[in-house]
A and B are shown apart, each in its own frame.
Chain A
Amino acid sequence: MDKIRIGLFIPCYIDQFYPQVGIATFELLQKLDIEVVYPEKQTCCGQPLANSGAEKEAIPVYQNFVRNFSEFDYIVTPSGSCAYHVKEHYNILEQTEQVKRVRANIYELCEFITDILKIDDLKIDFPYKVGIHQSCHGLRGLKLGSSSELITTRYSKVHRLLEKANGIEIITLDREDECCGFGGTFSIFEPHVSVKMGKARISDHERNGAEIITATDMSCLMHLEGIIRRENKKIKVVHIAEILNNNRL
């Protein structure tokens, strides 16, 4: 049988500021015996524009995305938020076969591993106390887990992957899935509330003994890291792709 061929989408801020997350994602997928292609003309999913109210201006960005990714079996990205944006908000494009394909086949990294590859145990080591920050768009948008507001069966794809890691201790948070306050351009339009939310998120992790905060979205972590570094805190942020790729800290 032919190898699964995926298009790797590396969100703009990861490309520019966190290449190690892109590299970890790329390496991990290759190890899983997948043909990974990174279309080099990709830019961004367009979410920063659309969330600012400039959905119309984002259309050429969306079109560029579709042009770059419509030929693959799946599109995989280390971001729940970008995947959700493509799925949910590319509805304003004309729904051509390519657009439909892209929207249907885009996956956040963890859900791609658990749902498409059907793998739970990646045989990794991570001997740290870890707090999982459930990024909102992954959790409530893509339903990577059950969100605390809904009265449904509890599950979490991210936990499923991480709890198999050797030596890991996943801590329980007081507020299991509260927003970190990043929210894209929200972090700029509402800096005070954004930072206050970030601080609360960090102290929840600290209070419960986490050494590492991980998440499916580097954007949340970028925001939290910004506060951690400003306040010289000890706790660290690590994107989940780096853990799943068995990177050493």
Chain B
Amino acid sequence: MKGHSYKAGIFLKDESRADWHDKTLWMVRQKRDKAARSVADWEDLRERASSIKEQVLSNLDFYLSEFEQRAVENGVKVHRASDAQEFNEIVYKIVTDNNAKLVVKSKSMLTEECGLNTFLEQRGLEVVDTDLGERIIQFRKEPPSHIVLPAIHLKKEEIGELFHEKLNTPKGMSDPVLLTSAARTHLREKFLSAGVAITGVNFAVAETGSVVVCTNEGNADMGVHAAPVQIHCMGIEKLVPQTRDLAVFTRLLARNATGQPITAYTSHYRKPKPRGEMHIVIVDNGRSDRLKSDIHRSSLKCIRCGACMNTCPVYRRSGGHSYGYLIPGPIGSILAPSYNIKKHTDLPFASSLCMSCSNVCPVKIDIHDQLYKWRQELSEKGAFSPVKGLVLKIAGFILSKSALYDFSGKVARVALKWLPRRMVYSKINVWGWERELPAVPQESFKKWYSKNSGKNNL
């Protein structure tokens, strides 16, 4: 299987581009640090965010029914979908019931997860992603490479080329201001003619039944307020108990994501507009199962800020597409196996376990520990090749017996010392592809100790 390691190798072939990718995202990480430092009680905020999410996850049914009840009282039509198929069908029905042909959609990882665009397009509808980055990758027919910065893998010249082809901009035009302006004109047309607007949801407030959407571009609002029908799609984990709780999350989210003090627009949708229709679709799609797992439930706290990607030295040097899952980076690597354990065996290993991800996580998900636990789970569930399993068993046996360990160490050292270089550095020595092995010493520490420990003065 061509996993993360293989794809990362390809990504790294163009070294200067890989360096550019790394620097761009590191800059975002630095902006995040600066913004976080401007808040006196940052670490305390993270703690509070984490405990609010914990409270929600521990009482999810209660908050869901409170939310649903309030939303219905507000005149909102609430739908529940147990899986992706059901979700897609619900949305499709709303769209067709309203005779809409064009749907505009602001960013929603949930709709990506459920494959909504494809589902609607296969049924003859036009779906336009309105976030600029999302529109770019939609034109390119590729998945986002980052959850907050979907087109971060692309250079402006490539976007210029793409817009020339799709939007008829002058050839060679690559100024971000001009490209953005071209997209603005193109998307305004779409906003004004769309029959339905879809948004994701950042937070849903149980006590009021409202949903909160954060954007910088204003594309969620352009869509929602222009179209007669608005649909907000949320996973069951998006709830917070009270409006007050939003204070904690709105202080954390944008600062941690991009280093902004808050997104340009933090929109609170509670009731439909006059003569408008408002729907909220609440989706499970495997979340309840994860909630039942003591080990993996904490990943449900994620507020999709993307900071773990920006800080991850592996993500920055392998690119989002190397993960082969719609949410890349550390958080994606702990989410992906719960959807498809066989397909994503490689992802929990696509980390050096440096723990930076857990340190930036605004809701304190123990991401590094989740990665570690997934590794154990994958091994227990037999997801490894038999060879790897056997090697690990033998290694375990050797390392538990000191005499065997001493002997094996000696054999290895002697072999490394006397074997010809071309044998030591053969293709199977992955370490040696681009690195030297350590020079072999005369004796091990243990040997030295047994010779010298008797002396009083060393």
| Chain A residues in the interface with B (C-beta under 8 A) | 10, 12-20, 22-23, 26-27, 30, 38, 40-44, 46, 48-58, 60-61, 63-64, 89, 136-137, 140-141, 147-152, 175, 178-179, 181-198, 200, 222-223, 225-227, 229-230
Contact = CB atoms under 8 A, between A and B. Distances in A.
Contact of B33 (A148, A179, A195): A148
B6 to A, nearest CB: 9
B367 to A, nearest CB: 12
30 contacts: A12-B399, A16-B409, A19-B445, A19-B447, A23-B448, A26-B449, A26-B458, A40-B402, A43-B405, A53-B378, A53-B392, A54-B379, A58-B396, A61-B399, A64-B402, A89-B372, A137-B353, A147-B355, A151-B42, A183-B352, A183-B353, A186-B351, A190-B350, A191-B430, A191-B431, A192-B5, A195-B434, A196-B18, A197-B313, A229-B436
B409 A226 contact: no
Nearest to A64: B400
B12 interface: yes
A34 B446 CA distance: 19
Contacts of A43: 399-402, 405
A16 B350 contact: no
B43 A38 contact: no
**Chain B interface bracket (under 10, 10 to 19, 20 to 34, 35 or more):** 35 or more
A207 B275 CA distance: 63
B14 to A, nearest CB: 12
Given A140-B359, A150-B43, A60 B437 contact: no
A191 B379 CA distance: 21
Given A53-B384, A151-B39, A226-B435, A179 B445 contact: no
B349 A226 contact: no
B279 interface: no
A151 B314 CA distance: 23
A197 B380 CA distance: 30
A206 B388 CA distance: 38
SS class, residues of chain A in contact with chain B: helix
A151 B36 contact: yes
A119 B356 CA distance: 29
A209 to B, nearest CB: 21
Given A147-B359, A151-B37, A136 B352 contact: yes
B441 A225 contact: no
B26 to A, nearest CB: 7
Contacts of A14: 445
A167 B169 CA distance: 61
Interface of B: 4-5, 8-9, 12, 15, 18, 22, 26, 33, 36-37, 39, 42-43, 311, 313-314, 317-318, 348-356, 358-360, 372, 375-376, 378-380, 384, 388, 392-393, 395-397, 399-402, 405, 409, 412-413, 430-431, 433-441, 443-450, 453, 458
Nearest to A17: B438
Chain B CB within 10 Å, residue with most, of A52, A137, A149, A229: A149
B43 A152 contact: yes
Contact of A189 (B311, B313, B349): B349
A15 B444 contact: yes
Contacts of B433: 191, 195
Contacts of B397: 57, 60
Contact of B400 (A63, A179, A194): A63
Contact of B438 (A54, A150, A196, A225): A225
Given A140-B359, A183-B352, A192-B9, A17 B395 contact: no
Contacts of B448: 19, 22-23
A187 B453 CA distance: 35
Nearest to B5: A190
Query: Nearest 7 pairs between A and B by C-beta?
Result: A183-B352, A226-B435, A57-B396, A22-B445, A60-B400, A53-B379, A179-B354
A178 B43 CA distance: 21
Contact of B444 (A16, A44, A190): A16
B375 to A, nearest CB: 4
B352 A179 contact: yes
Nearest to B406: A43
Contacts of B400: 43, 60-61, 63-64
Contact of B359 (A46, A64, A149, A182): A149
Nearest to B346: A189
A197 B434 CA distance: 12
Contacts of A15: 409, 444-446
Given A15-B445, A56-B379, 17 more contacts: A12-B409, A20-B441, A38-B453, A40-B449, A43-B401, A44-B399, A48-B399, A49-B392, A58-B396, A151-B37, A185-B349, A189-B5, A191-B5, A191-B430, A191-B431, A192-B12, A197-B317
